[in-house]
Amino acid sequence: MTFGNAVQRLFAPSARPFTIVVGTIIVLGLFDRGTGYFFSIGTVFSVMQLFATLGLVALGLGLSMLIREFDLSVSGMVGLAGCIAVLTGASNPWLGAALGVAAGLLGGLIQGLIMTRLNLSSVGVTLGGLLTMQGLTYVLTDNQTISYPKIAVPLGLNAPLAGLFSLRSVVALAVFAIAALAMRYTRLGRDVIATGSDRRASRIAGLNTDRVVISVFAASGGSSALAGVLLSYSLGAASPVALSDVLAPAAAAAIVGGVSVIGGRGSPMGIAAGVLTLCILSSGLSAIGVAPYVHDLVTGAILLVIAILDAPDLAQRITTWQFDRAERQRNALKGASS
Amino acid sequence: MDATDATRTPLVVLRDISVSFGGVRAVDQVSAELYEGEVLGIVGHNGAGKSTLVKVLSGACKRDGGTIAIRGEDANIDNPRDARRYGIETIYQTLALADNVDAAANIFLGRELKTRWGTLDDLAMEAQARSVMGRLNPHFARFKDPVKSLSGGQRQSVAIARAILFNARILIMDEPTAALGPQETAQVGELVRKLKAERIGIILISHDIHDLFDLADRICAMKNGRVVGTARVSDVSKDEVLGMIILGKCPPGATPGPGAMVLETR
Ligand SMILES: Nc1ncnc2c1ncn2[C@@H]1O[C@H](COP(=O)(O)OP(=O)(O)OP(=O)(O)O)[C@@H](O)[C@H]1O
Ligand SMILES: [Mg+2]
């Protein structure tokens, strides 16, 4: 029973992402069996490099899921912001980065305004946004890969810091820290959870939910745009086709990270754990020599388990089953003693 | 209506308010007024349009027609925040709580207190939440849990606390005691009397005619979205009020509304 309680606590929605990431490390460590392929500084570094891109996108998408919306435009934002940064930052990388991120904020803001003013759902609006941004990216790049002339920028962004991190992954971690503090300590953070748990109730209780929605989509756009800027700068190139498939892993990371698809539950730290899980699976499985298609299988299995754990009456069914079993045991004892 | 009422400016005047949902006329040409320090009871069968009418005043529901005047001036109430600016606080029948945040956060939803650094002042909010809850439901202790995990009556207490914390001038209570136990209900009755003494205007929707006769000064009866009649509680009997609700029959002691059944004179 106490063991059952401990398991239940470890898999409670707020603790689950951290349990899963630790579990993943332990399981991969067992496969590693001291060969050092998995437990190496190189693996940590590559996990953090993956984290830098996937994390910022998953954070944006996860924030939109927190208010029970879904920002499909995140992958379009990554590509568009990367191109803008490479095109406008040729002489001054800071300018390019600022314009790239500004484009993301603006894109999110416009989508949020359209949704709230016209009372539309995010899926339709952000799907439109996604296609628009992809189209814009093709136009801006003329469907060519554009290389970035300043070699120092990719080198600087990717140079290892303390062996484990790079400037790129440190920036991503800093954004997560800011998001976590904002969710916990600011009014907007509190209002995001309230809006996500019941938009209508929050609105008639006097909360300006439109402002919350617009802010979240601006933040989501900005975060994805930053991911795109960092990625393009560190690759030293922007291409219209790069990373169009980041949406599914980002959604998976957010869900593994404890963001509820029905809104109102989740945290930046949980999302970070979810992203880490996916990144560790990806580099860890490669490091121990597992074929890439297995990554998807494992991620898919974890998502399915989480979906099943979230089934509304599962906990109750288990409790009922436990009661029944205890009852049967008591009856059996009674039968034996009489 | 006594002479003073006729000369005083009403706190709220609702004139010819109409709301339709699709083809359904939920509220049909309703006019009503509320004075300072007065409790106006609204009664009617399920679906009579009571909640919809008060939601127009609280900004939660868009009206198709009609005007609202507050203290004699036309009021623009298009959303719940507008209503709050006029000092209107509402206890909704549906409670309007955000399930995943705690009681204190629900009470301060949309007007959270901040510290000097602009961060949430959770301590101050919890302290105020505790003190207002003390007036209402002293047994309530679960300020830190998401309201999802509270009982129906505890949730209702949170909704009431939110409405009375912010110095309302106009308080709308839509079946505020439906989920409360007898002791808590009595406490809300006390509270209504106290707020009334502070010159607050209160609109109280209830199905409990006895309670209404206890607390209300006037009663407005609705049927099928229309006002059957409005009367001072001293001018009508409980049976006559039931007659208004069920039959739409306006007694002699009441001022008839558009929903009153036309009686042929014998
Ligand atoms: N959001 C809505 N959409 C469609 N119809 C609605 C909506 N809200 C209310 N109605 C309809 O409007 C009418 C009046 O509803 P309202 O909630 O005002 O009744 P009520 O008098 O408060 O009833 P009760 O005593 O059951 O609370 C009903 O016929 C109801 O079905
Ligand atoms: Mg009602």
The domain that holds A223 is classified in CATH as 1.10.3470
- Which residues form the domain of A158? 17-290
Give the mean model confidence (pLDDT) for residues A289-298: 83
- Name which of A77-91, A163-177, A244-258 the model is least confident about: A244-258
Overall average pLDDT of the B105-131 stretch: 94
- Please tell me the distance in Å from B146's CA to the nearest CA on chain A: 11
Q: How far apart are CA B167 and CA B202, in angstroms?
A: 13
- Considering chain A, what percentage of its residues have pLDDT values greater than 90? 60
Distance CA(A18)–CA(A16), nearest Å, equals: 5
CA B100 vs CA A43, B96, B141, B159, B219: distances in Å: 38, 12, 17, 15, 37
pLDDT of A306 reads 82
Predicted confidence at residue A11, as pLDDT, reads: 80
Q: Which residues of A160-191 are buried (b: 16+ CB within 10 A; e: fewer)?
A: eeeeebbbbbbbbbebbeebbebbebbbbbbb
Of the candidate ranges A131-140, A183-192, B37-46, B257-266, the one whose mean pLDDT is the lowest: B257-266
pLDDT of residue B3: 44
Mean pLDDT value of segment A113-132: 95
Question: What distance in Å separates residue A219's CA from the closest CA in chain B?
Answer: 19
What's B150's DSSP letter? S
- The lowest-confidence range among A134-138, A314-318, B215-219, B262-266 is B262-266
Which of A197, A97, A208 has the alpha carbon at shortest distance from A157? A97
Q: Could you tell me if residue B30 is left (phi over 0), alpha (psi between -120 and 50 degrees) or otherwise beta?
A: beta
> Does A34 score more than 80 pLDDT?
no
Distance, in Å, from the CA atom of A28 to the CA atom of A40, rounded to the nearest integer, reads 12
Q: What is the pLDDT of residue A320?
A: 81
B-side interface with A, Cβ within 8 Å? 55, 58-60, 79-81, 84, 90, 92, 94-101, 105-106, 109-112, 114, 118-120, 148, 162
Instruction: Report if residue A304 sits inside a domain.
Output: no
Q: Do A197 and B119 touch (CB under 8 A)?
A: no
Amino acid A295: pLDDT: 81
A192 vs A291, residue with greater confidence: A192
Q: Does A63 score more than 60 pLDDT?
A: yes
B264 has pLDDT over 70: no
pLDDT by residue (tens digit) across B53-93? Answer: 999 999 999 999 999 999 999 999 999 999 999 999 999 99
Residue of A nearest to B88 (CA): A206
pLDDT in tens, B232-251: 999 999 999 999 999 999 99
Q: Provide the residue ranges of all domains of chain B, joining segments of one domain with +.
A: 3-87+169-256, 101-167
| CB-nearest partner of A204 from B96, B111, B118 | B96
Among A229-243, B100-114, B115-129, name the one with the lowest average pLDDT.
A229-243
**pLDDT tens-place string over residues A70-104:** 999 999 999 999 999 999 999 999 999 999 999 99
Bridge pairing between strands B255-256 and B226-232: antiparallel
Whether pLDDT at A246 is above 80: yes
Among the listed ranges A114-118, B6-10, B107-111, B220-224, which one has the minimum average pLDDT value?
A: B6-10
pTM: 0.91
Rounded mean pLDDT, A136-148:
91
pLDDT attached to residue B244:
95
Q: What is the DSSP string of A142-200?
A: TTS-EE-S-THHHHHHHSEETTTEEHHHHHHHHHHHHHHHHHHHSHHHHHHHHHHH-HH
β pairing state of B39-44 and B218-223: parallel
The answer to whether residue A4 sits within a structural domain is: no
Closest ligand to B27 CA?
A: 1
**What integer pLDDT is reported at residue A338 of this predicted model?**
62
What pLDDT does residue B255 have?
93
At residue B162, the pLDDT reads 96
Among residues A57, A28, A87, which one has the least CA distance to residue A238? A87
For residue A186, the chain B residue with the least C-alpha distance is B119
pLDDT at B266 over 60: no
Residue indicated by tokens 């030293």: A236
Give the ligand 1 atom nearest the CA of B55. 18
- Rounded Cα distance between A16 and A20, Å, is 6
Q: Tell me if A206 and B120 make a contact (CB, 8 A cut-off).
A: no
In a domain, A119, yes or no: yes
- Pocket flag, ligand 1, residue B51 (CB < 6 Å): yes
Instruction: Indicate whether A299 belongs to any domain.
Output: no
When CB atoms are compared, the residue of A187, A195, A201 closest to B96 is A201
Distance from CA of B41 to the nearest CA of A (A): 22
Q: What is the dihedral of CA B150, B151, B152, B156, to 10 degrees?
A: -50
Provide mean pLDDT across the span A162-175: 93
* Torsion angle defined by CA atoms of residues A103, A107, A109 and A112, in that order, rounded to the nearest 10 degrees: -170
Report which of residues A242 and A81 the model is more confident about: A81
How many CA atoms, within 13 angstroms, populate the side-chain half-sphere of residue A225?
A: 27
Q: Which atom of ligand 1 is nearest to the CA of B61?
A: 1
Tell me the CA distances in angstroms from A273 to A131, A201, A229, A279, B81, one per residue in order: 30, 31, 23, 10, 38
Say if ligand 1 is within 6 A of residue B18 CB.
Answer: no
Question: Residue B5's pLDDT is what?
Answer: 54
What is residue B6's predicted lDDT score, i.e. its pLDDT? Answer: 55
Chain B residues touching residue A267 (CB < 8 angstroms): none
For residue B93, the ligand 1 atom closest to its alpha carbon is 27
Q: How many CA atoms lie within 13 A of A180 on its CB side?
A: 12
pLDDT band for B8, please (50, 70, 90 cuts): confident
B265 pLDDT more than 70: no
Name every chain A residue with its beta carbon within 8 A of the beta carbon of B114.
Answer: 187
Q: How far apart are CA B160 and CA B147, in angstroms?
A: 14
A75/A72 Cα distance (integer angstroms): 7
The per-residue pLDDT of chain A, averaged, comes to 90
Token digits for A235? Answer: 């690759």
Lowest mean pLDDT among A192-196, A311-315, B60-64: A311-315
Indicate the class that CATH gives domain B3-87+169-256: alpha beta
* CA separation for the pair A23, A29 (Å, rounded): 10
d(CA A195, CA A208): 9
* pLDDT at residue A1, as a whole number: 56
Distance CA B208, CA B210 (A): 5
B166 Cβ closer than 6 Å to some ligand 1 atom? no
Nearest C-alpha in A relative to B91: A205
Count of domains for chain A: 1
In this model, does residue A218 exceed pLDDT 80? yes
Three-state secondary-structure class, residue B219: strand
With 80 as the cut, is the pLDDT of residue A310 above it? no
Please list, in sequence order, all residues whose beta carbon lies within 8 angstroms of the beta carbon of residue B130, skipping any fewer than 6 positions away: B143
What is residue A161's predicted lDDT score, i.e. its pLDDT? 87
Best of B51, B112, B149 to substitute, by most chain A Cβ atoms within 10 angstroms, is B112
Q: Which of A196, A166, A221 is nearest to A56 (CA)?
A: A221
**Residue A318 belongs to some domain of the structure:** no
In a domain, A328, yes or no: no
**Which residue owns the Cα nearest ligand 1 atom 24?**
B46
**Cβ A205–B162 below 8 Å, yes or no?**
yes
- Per DSSP, the three-state class of A290 is coil
pLDDT at A304: 86
B244 min Cα distance to partner chain A (Å): 31
Tell me the pLDDT band of A4, cut-offs 50, 70 and 90.
confident
Q: How far is CA A91 from the centre of its chain?
A: 32
Nearest to B101 among A187, A193, A204 (CB): A193
- b or e along A132-147 (b: 16 or more beta carbons within 10 Å of the residue's beta carbon)? bbbebbbebbeeeebe
Report how far Cα A231 is from the mean position of its chain's Cα atoms: 16
Question: Which of B100, B108, B150 to mutate: most A Cβ within 10 Å?
Answer: B100
Spatial CA neighbour of A103 closest among A123, A88, A92: A88
Q: How far is the CA of B52 from the centre of ligand 1 (A)?
A: 6
